[in-house]
Structure 1
Amino acid sequence: MTLSFFDQFMSPVYLGIPLIGLALTLPWLLFPAPTTRWLNNRLLTLQNWFIGRFAHELFMPVNLPGHKWAVLLTSLMLFLISLNMLGLLPYTFTPTTQLSLNMGFAFPLWLATVITGMRNQPTEALGHLLPEGTPTPLIPVLIIIETISLFIRPLALGVRLTANLTAGHLLIQLIATAATVLLPLMPTVAILTATVLFLLTLLEVAVAMIQAYVFVLLLSLYLQENV
């Protein structure tokens, strides 16, 4: 029996062992492995086309030194999409609803882009803290504001992904509970509620894919500023 709507976001534990590790490992087992044949099957061809197209669109505006991040960010995109989509299945756990996990993705990658910029082009990296043509009295204030906005970036990445997925799952559970309760009392209203639930589920599928893309896209923009 569910005691709270937020119980679905608790990390499952079996025999005292957290199962979040299993939830993080499972998506990699679902991808088709490359074959040694000359021609790939349809599923593998579709996967390779998607990966190539995504990497091309993502790194088109990024300078050439940043292209070495292609494998990392493309793998992260596939991983986040898999976690988000699998979390929409019944009786599953969505690891990306945990802020700690999302911050674990966001903070090291953001810090890596900042360190890359400070190592390769320190003048340009520090120049982002002060816009050109700033009046002298505003220089200290703008430097403080830009520094704060720089350090807020990883927090915004993690909170955005967590909040969107959590809100979507809560809405699905609320509307599903309402449809179940209204079915014996007002069948017509329950059918309308179930229709809204179906449309919301389609919206949540789109949100699961879009949020994974936005997460990686913002990381690529941060990378572009530092290469």
Structure 2
Amino acid sequence: MNVSLFDQFMSPTLFGVPLIALALLLPWLLFPTPSSRWMSNRLLTLQNWFLGQFTSQTFSPINVGGHKWALILASLMIFLIFLNMLGLLPYTFTPTTQLSMNMGLAVPLWLATVLMGMRNQPTASLGHLLPEGTPVPLIPVLIIIETISLFIRPLALGVRLTANLTAGHLLMQLIATAAFVLLSLMPAAAIVTMMVLFLLTILEVAVAMIQAYVFVLLMSLYLQENV
């Protein structure tokens, strides 16, 4: 039973070709293409408003030097939202349930913020490793602890996104299986279970959007420390 539950998180293949590549390309095909007209349609207007609100809210506390990251982080958030939302459809695969992919997104962006901080303001970046006013005997221990916490940040980003989506998908499959089994045995209990499944689906849609926003928000906080 456990093997069948976790089979949905295995990368599917067709004729030996991993289909995760198609799952990664699909969100970009759904984006509306900008037109050359002066007046945009409703979808483009809504998308531009959403991107403008997100960019202004995310980059308002960041210095001007970090505003060049706006395009990268906005594209990343939309990409993650589409991947998470498409993974809720039947007979689909969610690439963000793979820890390797999430780490592949988190590690390069985190490393870029750290290297940028080391290049632009090395004193301030190294100062984060040692809080001001630390007693002399505690200096080596605090430096080691802060260094470990610095290197664990990308791991926390990837594990958070993976764990939240994996837990939600597992819970939905368990409740759906229970509703299917109870349908012939206890119809009333099956109806209640289906209602719970419907509410959980709405919750998972919210989680899919919130987790993408949290991923990008934490990345912007790391950027703020190094700009």
Instruction: Give the whole-Å Cα distance in 1 for the aligned partners of 2:85 and 2:154.
Output: 23
The secondary structure found in structure 2 opposite 1:164 is helix
Match of 2:59 in 1: 59
TM (norm. structure 2) is 0.99
Q: Does 1:214 align with 2:214?
A: yes
Match of 1:79 in 2: 79
Report the Cα offset of residue 163 of structure 1: 0.2
Match of 2:119 in 1: 119
Deviations 1:42-77 (A, max 9, x none): 011001111111111110111110000000000000
- Which letter maps to 2:56? H
Report the Cα offset of residue 3 of structure 1: 5.5
Instruction: Give the whole-Å Cα distance in 2 for the aligned partners of 1:113 and 1:119.
Output: 10
| Root mean square deviation of aligned Cα | 1.1
Report the Cα offset of residue 123 of structure 1: 0.1
- Which letter maps to 2:209? M
Percent of aligned positions with the same letter in both sequences? Answer: 79
TM (norm. structure 1) is 0.99
Match of 1:50 in 2: 50
Instruction: Give the whole-Å Cα distance in 2 for the aligned partners of 1:3 and 1:94.
Output: 18
Instruction: Give the whole-Å Cα distance in 2 for the aligned partners of 1:98 and 1:82.
Output: 16
Match of 1:97 in 2: 97
Which deviates more from structure 2 when the two are superposed, residues 181-190 or residues 3-12? 3-12
The secondary structure found in structure 2 opposite 1:75 is helix
The secondary structure found in structure 2 opposite 1:168 is helix
Gaps (5+ residues) in structure 2? none
Match of 2:204 in 1: 204
The alignment covers a number of residue pairs equal to 227
The secondary structure found in structure 1 opposite 2:152 is helix
The secondary structure found in structure 2 opposite 1:43 is helix
Deviations 1:18-55 (A, max 9, x none): 01111100100001000111100101100111111111
Instruction: Give the whole-Å Cα distance in 1 for the aligned partners of 2:103 and 2:146.
Output: 21
- Displacement over 3 Å in runs of 4+: none
Instruction: Give the whole-Å Cα distance in 2 for the aligned partners of 1:14 and 1:133.
Output: 60
Report the Cα offset of residue 143 of structure 1: 0.3
- Which letter maps to 1:137? P
Match of 2:18 in 1: 18
- Which letter maps to 2:50? F
